[in-house]
A and B are shown apart, each in its own frame.
Chain A
Amino acid sequence: MKKDVVQKLGFSLIFLCILTTVFFLGTIIYFIFVKGAPIISWDFLTKVPRNAMTEGGVAPIIAGTFYLTLGAMIFSVPLGLACAIYICEYSPKSFIVNIIRISINNLAGVPSVVFGLFGLAVFVNFLGFGVSILSGSLTLGILALPLIISASQEALVAVPHSIREASLSLGASKWETIKRIVLPAALPGILTGVILSVGRVAGETAPILFTAAAFYKRGYPKNIFNEAMALPYHIYALMTEGAHPDKQKAVAYGCSLVLLLLVLFISGFAIILRQRQRSSYAQ
């Protein structure tokens, strides 16, 4: 009898914990939607900011985030994919793979602001790219690298061994097998990983603080050596700088909603894509 009471109590307790978490998530999303939705309009999304960022839209800021994210992906996807291919396809379980694995884990654990410092020291100062989209993209790219490597690795491992062997036995070389057989089969999984890391990169602020971001810049960025405004940094700046805190807070709600929708849409898409894949592997 006592056992049952304890069990009921225990289960209620952990249910309470899950409710707390769900409540927290719900509150955040609710607040941003309720306060942000009235701000968002077609003009907000397509016009340039006016009157010390309190009026007009945020189009150049969205563009800045787009360029930074795109740049990061151009840099990190090929490199990360190649790294995953090396680990899964070429190297047997060796000492060097262990070292690679440890470095990937560490790279994933390095605080994002340290990536910012690194970007500042290497890309901005040492290589002389200055505070620019290029520096920011490269910094974000390194941050995204471990995410892309792990996702690609998972996708490659999930490809059955038998089809590799079938291809090799037909006389295809190792690289031909990888290019024609393994990669197409792993593509959906790799794509999911890439999309997830896009969501992560688009929302990162600390790495671009000193490598790419500007609070105010007239118009759109012209080339990769320009500074850029970016959504996450813009939210931070609106809340901590400027002379019109109340009006800026309203814009910050709008920006938060845009960023949240962007990130949730991207991640949601990836999560659904992955669930589909899982069920197709199961068949």
Chain B
Amino acid sequence: MRKFKEFLIEKLIFICGLASIFFVILIFLFLTKEGLAVFKYVNPVDFLMGKSWYPISEPAQLGILPLIFGSLIVTLGAAIISIPIGIACAVYIAEVAPSKIKEVLKSGIELLAAIPSVVLGFIGMVTLVPWVKTVFHLPTGLTALSGSIILAFMAMPTIVSIAEDALYSVPKSYKEGAFALGATHWQTIYRVLLPAASSGIVAAVMLGIGRVIGETMAVMMITGNAAVIPQSILVPVRTLTATIAAEMGEAVVGSEHYFALFAIGIVLFIMSFIINVTADLFLHKRH
């Protein structure tokens, strides 16, 4: 009887253990089930490379290139801001900060991660957007740049905490060796610790970028949502995520617009899958 109960519980827990695999597959299945239907209306090349996104005109034009560019430019901007600052913060926390300040900063970074994206979007709308408008003399402050700045700080917690872990796990002997050879603390960080932790730092950057590409609410609220291929970082853009979030409410279930939004979901899912698997490889190279 007792054996039987053990057996039952073990099987039950095993089934629960498979839940995450189950959900990943289920998400992919449902996305493809709804999303691939769009290719009855438009061929995949035109979908990915088409330059105009007018989903409700007659006939609908479903080219997501402007949206891909929108996502890319916002992500690139965020990466340029957040990678150097994020790695510098990680170095400061891991190497330079006194232990008391270190704990405070770590908690601070975690609080930054805890702020809901809609709150960041809201604050961006009321503070950053008018500021960008005045500083650059633009007709509107709802630009890719505003989005990049907010997103940079949303990627920061991911980058800082993973990069800090990577720096922390560099063996102490490396550092002592460098000191013994007469290197300064800065030289040790720059020449020894950063290269030794590089695969973890690359993973940190990738996961941070993954976070940026997938971010929805803040981006939708502050990038202006214009579905045209951006010529500079100071114009309104529309990202892949914002398109889904903004348009799904109006799309009729079963229309080509509805299918197209799911197809964008597939694109995002594949992007995040590639980023995560690659980051995972980098993280495990370390061990």
Interface size classification for chain A: 35 or more
B119 x A175 contact (CB < 8 A):
no
A79 x B92 contact (CB < 8 A):
no
Is B234 engaged at the interface, CB distance under 8 Å to the other chain? Answer: no
For window 154-200 of B, CB contacts with A under 8 Å fall at 156, 184-187, 189-190
Is A6 engaged at the interface, CB distance under 8 Å to the other chain? Answer: yes
B26 x A107 contact (CB < 8 A):
no
Interface string of B215-231 (1 = CB under 8 A from A): 11100010000000000
A103 x B20 contact (CB < 8 A):
yes
**Given contacts A17-B84, A256-B119, is CB(A174)–CB(B6) below 8 Å?**
yes
Residue numbers in B under 8 Å from A249 (CB-CB): 126
B241 x A111 contact (CB < 8 A):
yes
Which of the 9-residue segments A8-16, A160-168, A181-189 touches chain B?
Answer: A8-16
Q: How many residues of B contact A (CB 8 A)?
A: 85
Residue numbers in B under 8 Å from A22 (CB-CB): 105, 108
Measured CB to CB, the closest approach of chain A to B267, in angstroms, equals: 10
Interface string of A98-122 (1 = CB under 8 A from B): 0110111111111111111110111
Chain A residue, CB-CB nearest to B110 = A271
A111 x B215 contact (CB < 8 A):
yes
**Given contacts A117-B248, A121-B262, is CB(A106)–CB(B2) below 8 Å?**
no
Chain A residue, CB-CB nearest to B206 = A109
Measured CB to CB, the closest approach of chain A to B12, in angstroms, equals: 7
Is B62 engaged at the interface, CB distance under 8 Å to the other chain? Answer: no
Measured CB to CB, the closest approach of chain B to A60, in angstroms, equals: 18
Is B24 engaged at the interface, CB distance under 8 Å to the other chain? Answer: yes
A116–B111 Cα gap in the complex (Å)? Answer: 25
A121–B26 Cα gap in the complex (Å)? Answer: 11
Is B252 engaged at the interface, CB distance under 8 Å to the other chain? Answer: no
Chain A residue, CB-CB nearest to B30 = A121
Q: Which of B119, B186, B277 has the most CB of A within 10 A?
A: B119
B10 x A174 contact (CB < 8 A):
yes
**Given contacts A18-B92, A114-B268, A174-B6, is CB(A106)–CB(B119) below 8 Å?**
no
Is B72 engaged at the interface, CB distance under 8 Å to the other chain? Answer: no
26 contacts between A and B (CB under 8 A): A4-B184, A7-B185, A14-B91, A22-B108, A32-B119, A78-B16, A82-B12, A82-B16, A103-B24, A106-B272, A109-B214, A110-B269, A110-B272, A113-B265, A114-B214, A121-B30, A121-B31, A122-B30, A173-B2, A203-B116, A205-B216, A206-B241, A239-B221, A252-B122, A259-B119, A268-B107
